[in-house]
Amino acid sequence: MRIVVTGGAGFIGSHLIERLLDRDHEVLCVDCLDRFYPAPVKLANLAAAAAHPRFSMAAMDLCDQPALRETFAEFRPEAVFHLAATAGVRPSIQRPMTYVQANLVASQSVLSASHESGVERVILAGSSSVYGRDQQAPFREECASSEPQSPYAASKRGMELLAAAHCAVHKSTVTVCRLFTVYGPRQRPDLAISRFVRAMLAHQPITVYGDGSFARDFTYVDDTVAGLVASLKAPSGYRIFNLGAGGPSSVNELISTIEHVLGWRADVRHEAEQPGDVPLTYASVDRARDELGWTTKVNLEEGIRRFVAWARSAPDVYFRVGEPWSLGPTGRQGKAGAESAP
Ligand SMILES: NC(=O)c1ccc[n+]([C@@H]2O[C@H](COP(=O)([O-])OP(=O)(O)OC[C@H]3O[C@@H](n4cnc5c(N)ncnc54)[C@H](O)[C@@H]3O)[C@@H](O)[C@H]2O)c1
């Protein structure tokens, strides 16, 4: 198939592209290399794919509708994975307009361009943040909250609603995959596991907001990508799936797991809970199992082992000096970690 992956230079998108190329698809990555974290990291994410003969890249902003329309008309994709977004709960509180632009305007642009060029199936990267605060666990797909706790959560829910309207009007097929705290090699540098491991490898302190009892349904990136690929065969029409491990761990349990894998204790500093954070994410996985045949394979300890193995040998670009999120090449500079929900 000819497949577009938006946000393909990002963490999850770059893994998805590698999986699609392995399965003989032709892949066009559409990504503007936004400034959420440095462009050289994103180019490094694409290093394996870039050399592949069935891979191409269009560096553009999805909000540029005419350019996107032209790109789609030329490539004639049969399916589109829309992963591009500005992610992160806390920065969305400081910069809500960025999130409206990147997650609502850009998403509508992708839906419209897909419709105009006859794309058969669009798959959207949704987020567990749409479940809000006081949800009954495990979270079932039909129970999204009408009280999102951050502009990020609201923008991801808004994207879903635009997609539902798009399907109702055009009778098209859009599948929303709600992702739950994804981790693994190349994880976004602002997220907890990346920050904690990089700090601990450098014997730096880590910062935990609150008492560490907040829990996340941490999901290994290979499992997430398997679920995204499985959704190419989801039922037609508008359908939502949770792609989460189905068993949350608290931040304290996460830290213990990292300590166990590394063989030393973390120096933990506590700070106040952050606005926008929710106490729990916990996916109900019945629908994804029954309709997509999807289950996760990598548990937290194994996933952390794989992440640590990657972090120990990752290219320097992932550890650049001077970036506020990073440690130096020797792991001795920059700010050490604070966790962030996706
Ligand atoms: N990482 C997680 O734990 C997690 C959890 C839930 C949902 N998600 C969703 O999964 C998707 C991928 O997340 P990620 O962690 O890989 O993020 P990422 O920041 O690593 O990747 C996003 C990519 O989108 C690109 N992008 C942003 N705005 C764009 C625009 N207007 N035009 C073109 N490209 C643009 C960025 O340059 C970046 O490469 C996002 O939609 C995110 O909301 C992620």
CB-based contacts of 124: which residues, under 8 Å, 6+ apart? 82, 107, 159, 160, 163, 174, 175, 176, 177
DSSP state of 246: S
Residue nearest to atom 38 of ligand 1 (CA): 10
Cβ(181) to ligand 1 under 6 A? yes
pLDDT tier at 342 (50, 70, 90 boundaries)?
Answer: very low
Mean pLDDT of 281-294: 98
Mean pLDDT of 46-73: 98
The overall average pLDDT reported for the chain is: 93
26 pLDDT more than 90: yes
116 pLDDT more than 60: yes
Distance 174 CA to ligand 1 centre (A): 18
Phi, psi of 196 (to 5 degrees): -65, -50
267-303 exposure pattern, b = at least 16 Cβ within 10 A, e = fewer: eeeeeeebebbbebbbbbbebbeeebebebebbbeeb
Q: Which atom belonging to ligand 1 lies closest to the Cα atom of 126?
A: 7
Q: Which of 54-58, 180-184, 186-190, 245-249 has the lowest mean pLDDT?
A: 186-190
pLDDT at residue number 337: 35
Q: Which two tokens stand for residue 86?
A: 């500005």
Residue nearest to atom 34 of ligand 1 (CA): 31
Cβ(88) to ligand 1 under 6 A? no
Cβ(32) to ligand 1 under 6 A? yes
Mean pLDDT of 17-28: 98
pLDDT at residue number 18: 98
Q: Is 99 left (phi over 0), alpha (psi -120 to 50) or beta?
A: alpha
pLDDT at residue number 316: 85
pLDDT at residue number 105: 98
**CA-based nearest residue to 85, from 162, 141, 8, 17:** 8
324 pLDDT more than 80: no
Alpha-carbon distance of 232 to 169, in angstroms, equals: 21
145 vs 132, 149, 157, 158, 285, CA distance in Å?
Answer: 5, 9, 9, 12, 18
CB-based contacts of 213: which residues, under 8 Å, 6+ apart? 250, 251, 252, 279
326 pLDDT more than 80: no
Amino acid code (one letter) for 163: A
Other Cβ atoms within 10 Å of 70 Cβ, number: 15
CB-based contacts of 28: which residues, under 8 Å, 6+ apart? 2, 3, 4, 5, 56, 57, 58, 71, 75, 77
Distance 34 CA to ligand 1 centre (A): 10
pLDDT tier at 320 (50, 70, 90 boundaries)?
Answer: low
Mean pLDDT of 292-297: 98
Contact 79, 127 (CB under 8 A): no
Distance 169 CA to ligand 1 centre (A): 27
103 pLDDT more than 50: yes
Cβ(81) to ligand 1 under 6 A? no
Write the pLDDT tens digit of every residue in 189-213: 989 999 999 999 999 999 999 999 9
pLDDT at residue number 340: 43
Write the pLDDT tens digit of every residue in 135-176: 999 999 999 999 999 999 999 999 999 999 999 999 999 999
Cβ(160) to ligand 1 under 6 A? no
Distance 67 CA to ligand 1 centre (A): 20
pLDDT at residue number 32: 98
Task: Respond yes or no on whether the N-terminal peptide bond of residue 138 is cis (omega within 30° of 0).
Answer: yes
Write the pLDDT tens digit of every residue in 217-276: 999 999 999 999 999 999 999 999 999 999 999 999 999 999 999 999 999 999 999 999
Q: Which atom belonging to ligand 1 lies closest to the Cα atom of 102?
A: 31
4 pLDDT more than 90: yes
Residue nearest to atom 21 of ligand 1 (CA): 10
pLDDT at residue number 135: 94
66 pLDDT more than 70: yes
pLDDT tier at 328 (50, 70, 90 boundaries)?
Answer: very low
SS3 of 247-273: CCEEHHHHHHHHHHHHCCCCCEEEECC
19 pLDDT more than 90: yes
Distance 225 CA to ligand 1 centre (A): 14
pLDDT at residue number 331: 33
Cβ(62) to ligand 1 under 6 A? yes
Domains along the chain?
2-180+219-243 (3.40.50.720)
Beta partners for 243?
179
Cβ(192) to ligand 1 under 6 A? no
**CA-based nearest residue to 88, from 195, 225, 181, 196:** 181
CB-based contacts of 138: which residues, under 8 Å, 6+ apart? 246, 282, 283, 284, 285
Catalytic positions: 152
Distance of CA 339 to the CA centre of its chain: 15
